[in-house]
Structure 1
Amino acid sequence: MIKELKKLYKNKFFLSFSISSLFMFSARYMDFAIIGWLITSLSNDPSSVGLLIFLRFIPLTTSGLISGWLVDKFPRLKIIKTIIVITSIYYFLLSYYLLIGSETIEIFYILTFISGILSSIDLASRQSYLSNLVRRKTLKFSLAIDIILMNLCIFLGPNIGMLFYEIIDFYQIYFYLGIVTLLNLLIIRKNPNLSMLKNKKEEYSGFAKGVGFAIKNKLILSTLLILAFGNFFAFSFESMAPYVGKNILNSSPQEFSFLLSMQGLGALSGAILFFPLIVKINRPGLVFAISSISLCIFSFLFSFENSYFMTCVIIFFGGLSIAIFGNMHTRILISQTPNPLRGRIQGLRQLSIGFFPLGSLFLGLSGDYFGISDSIRLFSFTGVLITIFILILFRELRVKIFNK
């Protein structure tokens, strides 16, 4: 393991790309926390938070397949650079909007949707590019490190955003985010384009190739199914955290951001603590299914009226499960897919993750009518049953696929 990590450390392109991801992801989750705070300040309904999550992540469903196809058709690094520029413009425009002081919840919803589209394309292109940037022997290590960085950003982003809010206004924060985002172009300016071989590109050309490949490969298909249903039913502690923090626990801005970041802290801790084990797991499908069930369990615990401290603890341990959940499905989908198809499989991955906003919206609407606690418990129980059913149905999830 040490040998592989040293190889990654010596890979200057991997390092520069990882630094760029660190800045981009931190800004993205800072933006999400700020928008979440502003929306919960304008509305007290669970459905408003559900709609926020829905609009933020629904582009993963609506544009996931398209973004995956784009990533396979055009140079991935060029797409990444284009998204950097557009994201910077988005931050500058949001800064101006907050400066003029005419905030409405509808505009925030629109901005959230735009941010989701940019995030969808960026994620597909970054992971596909990363998988081709390193050698196959170090792939699982690079993916694990990428997950660690993302979880670090989930923790840092909201806390940094609210910490800055004590010093400067939100519009100033977004202005600086725009500048920092543009600096990513300098960070990755020397990275190679990594163009695919023409014959391989032609062999796997076509929008439907990715779907056909996923259907034939039962491990990928079952992974995508658990990923979809898990995102729909198992992430209540994440989707309803803004509502619980603002309207039930009456958190201050700092407490609110810390509560939201607990998932990231848990996932970061899990990714680091379990790193030696994660890279050695040879039944990632089975571990992935178990982690999905554990997420449902923590969502169930989240449904009870807990203190602020206990709510943070539950979200933290839910984050620990997310570390394994994220690592396992990412490794399966990338390692079991030929390079020319990875963008489209990442698009299908985003399509599955897109069930998260659908679940959040239905959970929020259900919470308005039946109470948020009972709704979360029903979602959690259903998620466990479906995951067990898929695990039994697909034996491919239970077999070894990595010997080293």
Structure 2
Amino acid sequence: MTAVLSARGWTGSTFRSLRTRNYRLFATGQVVSNTGTWMQRIAQDWLVLSLTNSPTAVGITTALQFLPMLMFGLWGGVLADRYPKRRLLIATQSCMGLLAAALAVLTLTGTVRVGHVYLIAFLLGLATVVDNPTRQSFVTEMVGESDLRNAVSLNAAIFQAARLVGPAVAGVLINAVGAGWAFGVNALSYVGVLTGLLLMRPAELYPSPRVARARGQLREGLRYIAGRRELVWPIVLVGFVGTFGYNWPIILSAFAKDVFHHGAGTYGVFNTLMAVGSLAGALLAARRTTTRLRMLLAAAAGFGVLEVVAALTPWFWLFCPLLLVIGLLGLTFNTTANTTVQLACSPEMRGRVMGVYMLVFTGGTPIGGPLIGWVTETYGARDGLAVGGAVAALAAATVAAILAFARHDGTPVSIRSAVGTLTGRRA
């Protein structure tokens, strides 16, 4: 795994962030922890489906996990700007590990009920409210702004590499000994990320300016975003795509069980295929040195269109490779939007900006999750996937049309030039 290799002699631009010791420690911990997280995701979805036989219940579980982000996500960004990010991450990651251990004990003792899963999903969501914006904005403190784009892409690559291993191991464990062991392994995996955080050298970080506690900081962050079109358009697009296009726990479990009539192993294979495509997309993104709005729009549109195509295909052998390309485009869209937003904001506002970003990206799941779950249960998995893809493609087309209408000359459609044309200024 590249995250644990020494950076000495490393010349490839794709992995240049690994030259930084603190980031190598962080990346190593993320490899271990994300593998466990993916195991828990697969096991949790399958456990709920086994307990209830309802795709809607899977959607409710997902919604409960992301509901706290919808309710409190903006305040998580305020805390990320106000307190030391490394200490916040140690606290949030510890809470997540304890919750995974509790779910493991309930499942292994045979006392788990769907209500327990709902409660733990909600509590995980509360920890995520602070963890997400803190972890996203902490990347800059580890590598500096010069390597931010590369580090964000490598984070995504690490996440997807873990996704290759986690679902496969989870499928084996579920079939062999049950979901409880997957939850137990995830609980232990948090030791890796906590160890990496504790071993970091604070003197080698690039700390963002701490924002003293004061009234109106949340409103200040919202005004800051509203006044910058280079932040508004990516965040708007992320909201639509994240809410309706990323409901994979609902869609893939239903496709495995109800469309192709397979078991947990196939569900794991589906997730693995998407991870392969996403990993390829992340590594390609890590090599890029610029961010263009054209790429963001194209990736969102292609992602949505291919979801519709996958929903319509009747063949298992065609559905599988489509997942590869969907994963690649989805990850390209995600990393492009993330780096665009982070590079466009000032350091002292980054926590609040990423709080809003994560709010619209994951906070919309309590809306999109139950809705797509209801469509899936009522009309079928194919319709659920088609609706999500159509919304993502329509959102991309709408934003592209707005920007095209606003542009009056032949300037390349980069983030900066789009801002200039929309505000009447030259980039």
Matches within 5 A, 1:346-361: 346-353=354-361, 354-361=363-370
* Distance change in 2, residues 1:172/1:376 (3 Å): closer
SS at match of 1:365: helix
Partner of 1:245: 256
Matched, 1:84 2:99: no
Amino acid at match of 1:224: I
CA distance in 2, matches of 1:203, 1:401: 32
- One-letter amino acid of the counterpart of residue 246, structure 2: F
Relative to structure 1, is the Cα distance of residues 264 and 56 closer, same or farther in structure 2, using a 3 angstrom cutoff? farther
Larger mean CA deviation between 33-42 and 244-253 belongs to 244-253
Residue 306 (structure 1) aligned with residue 314 (structure 2): yes
Instruction: Go from structure 1 to structure 2 and tell me whether the alpha carbon gap of 1:248 and 1:109 turns closer, same or farther (over 3 Å shift).
Output: farther
TM-score calculated relative to the size of structure 1: 0.89
- Of 227, 236, 242 in structure 2, the residue corresponding to residue 216 of structure 1 is 227
Determine if the alignment matches structure 1 residue 388 to structure 2 residue 397: yes
Give 1:55 deviation, angstroms. 2.2
Residue 50 (str. 1) matches residue 59 (str. 2): yes
Identity of aligned residues (%): 15
Alpha-carbon separation, structure 1, partners of 2:28 and 2:22 = 10
Higher mean alpha-carbon deviation, 91-100 vs 53-62, is at: 53-62
The amino acid of 2:136's aligned partner reads: Q
Q: What is the alpha-carbon distance in structure 2 between the residues aligned to residue 167 and residue 322 of structure 1?
A: 32
> Runs of 5+ in structure 1 lacking a partner?
none
Answering whether residue 345 of structure 2 is matched by residue 322 of structure 1, we say no
In structure 2, give the amino acid aligned to 1:306: P
Equivalent residues of 1:4, 1:137 under 8 A apart:
no
- Number of residue equivalences: 398
Q: CA deviation at 1:372?
A: 4.2
- How far is the alpha carbon of 1:124 from its aligned partner? 1.7
- What letter is aligned with 2:300? S
Higher relative contact order (CA 8 A, sep 6+): 1
Counterpart of 1:37? 46
2:158 corresponding residue in structure 1: 149
State the Cα RMSD in Å: 2.7
* 8 Å contact from structure 1 (residues 220, 336) kept in 2: yes
- Structure 1 distance, partners of 2:294, 2:366, is 25
- Which letter maps to 1:272? L
Amino acid at match of 1:399: S
Render the CA deviation track for 1:37-58: whole Å, top value 9, x for unaligned.
Answer: 1112223333223223322333
Further displaced range: 105-114 or 167-176: 167-176
* Shift of residue 256, structure 1, vs aligned partner: 1.7
Q: Report the equivalent of 1:186.
A: 195
Q: Select 2:353's aligned residue among 340, 345, 353.
A: 345
The aligned counterpart of 1:399 is: 414
Instruction: From the superposition, tell whether residues 247 and 109 of structure 1 become closer, same or farther in structure 2 (CA, over 3 Å).
Output: farther
Q: Which amino acid aligns with 1:323?
A: L
What whole-Å deviation, never above 9, does each CA across 1:168-194 have from its counterpart, x for those lacking one? 443334333323312432222132455
Question: For the Cα contact (< 8 Å) 2:58–2:373, is it kept in 1?
Answer: yes
Unaligned runs of 5+ in 2: 1-9, 418-427
Match of 1:288 in 2: 296
Aligned to 1:233: 244
8 Å CA contact 1:235, 1:296 repeated in 2: no
Alpha-carbon distance in 1 for matches of 2:15, 2:308: 41
Instruction: Report deviation, 1:6.
Output: 7.0
Which residue of structure 2 lines up, in the alignment, with residue 93 of structure 1? 102
Superposed displacement of residue 265, structure 1? 1.8
2:168 alignment partner in structure 1: 159
Q: 2:371 aligns with which of 362, 365, 368?
A: 362
For residue 420 of structure 2, what is the aligned residue in structure 1?
Answer: none
Change (3 A) 1:224 1:164: same
Residues 274 and 81 of structure 1: is their aligned pair in 2 closer, same or farther, counting only changes over 3 Å? closer
Give TM-score, length-normalised by structure 2. Answer: 0.84
Q: 1:89 to 1:378 in 2, by over 3 A?
A: closer
Structure-2 change in CA distance of 1:78 and 1:25 (3 Å):
same
CA distance in 2, matches of 1:49, 1:288: 30
